[in-house]
Amino acid sequence: MIIPWQEIDPETLNNLIEHFVLREGTDYGERELSMDEKVSRVRQQLERGEAVIVYSELHETVDIKLRRHQG
């Protein structure tokens, strides 16, 4: 189930994004970005609809998925 990011408490949303960034270990290009820059990029992806927050009832987990990775 997709959860609209606008409905999540701002502090909770920030924590969720930070957890996602730490877990993903994504390559951001030629230079390493700060945590704040990475969080900002993910937040922008959420705002543009390029990423979504997904709740799994089966696993009782919340995750961020990039739309290109959804099947």
User: pLDDT tens digits for 26-53?
Assistant: 555 566 788 899 999 999 999 999 999 9
List beta partners, residue 63.
Answer: 54
CA distances from 28 to 5, 19, 43, 44 (A): 23, 16, 15, 14
Q: Is the pTM of this model over 0.85?
A: no
User: What percent of the chain has a predicted confidence (pLDDT) above 70?
Assistant: 86
Phi then psi for residue 31, to 5 deg, are: -120, 150
Residue in 50, 62, 65, 58 with CA at minimum distance from that of residue 9: 62
Alpha helix (H) ranges present in the chain? 10-24, 35-48
